[in-house]
Amino acid sequence: MTLVIGGVKMLMSGMLDIVYPNRCQLCQTGLLAGEKYVCLACSYDLPHIERNGDEQSKLSHLFSGRLELRQTYSLFNYQKGKGVTRLLHLIKYHGKRRMGEYFGEKLGEGIIEKGLPDGKAGIDLIVPVPLHVKRQRKRGYNQSEHIALGISTATGIPCNGKILRRKTYSFSQTQFSKYDRWENVRSIFELRQTELVRGKHILLVDDVLTTGATIEACARELLKAEGCTVSIATLAARI
């Protein structure tokens, strides 16, 4: 019954996208030419990390002493304003796959700006954080994979959603402490295609970075491959 209700909600959301394709997803005002998903006013109010030097510095040090990363990229500060929460919720739970890809492209453009002259920041492969097969079947898609596809579109870097597997169906993280979140995900991921990441620079993608437990568990699994290095990209980060 839950699967049926979830499917109906996603269908209705998709139909609304067709009927009302030109409304801001945050304030519901009509979008002007050149605006997509979010109007210029709402976009300006979103807490873009690249506008704040202190936040950029904090972002780059989020995993210091915990995990060796090459770069950490994110568009928005998750803690500031309700707009980011609303966007993430729409992308994650309301079937807004194309919106996830759109903001993934914006994230990819930011990576290009900070990267090497070839526009790829030396990254070889984009890998989204996986969902367990049961959760993905229930939701109908993996939001992190659509964000990763958007980054791939913007950068030209290939994306592979089958590198990692979530082998255990874990409980939702929202009510857990930082330590309990780490315990919840510490050993639930499995590296499936070691030969594809050996000696490669991998960009690991998720929708949001809060405690970092999930994405850290994924990164540690990737780093088991000889010569593999990891960077992280999320639409939002708590900093």
pLDDT, one tens digit per residue, over 50-75 is: 888 899 999 999 999 999 999 999 99
Q: Which of 109, 198, 225, 220 is nearest to 157 (CA)?
A: 109
Choose among 186, 201, 122: nearest CA to 155.
Answer: 122
R_g of the chain, CA atoms, integer Å: 18
Residue 104 and residue 13 in one domain: no
**100 in the same domain as 18:** no
* pLDDT tens readout for residues 184-193: 677 899 999 9
Question: Are residues 191 and 76 part of one domain?
Answer: yes
Does 153 lie in the same domain as 110?
Answer: yes
Residues 139-176 pLDDT 10s: 999 999 999 999 999 999 999 999 999 998 765 555 55
CATH of the domain at 89: 3.40.50.2020
Look up the domain containing 7 and give its range.
Answer: 1-45
State how far the Cα of 160 lies from the Cα of 43, in Å rounded to an integer.
Answer: 30
Q: Where are the beta strands (DSSP E) in the chain?
A: 72-77, 125-128, 164-166, 189-191, 201-209, 229-237
- Its pTM stands at 0.86
Total structural domains within the chain? 2
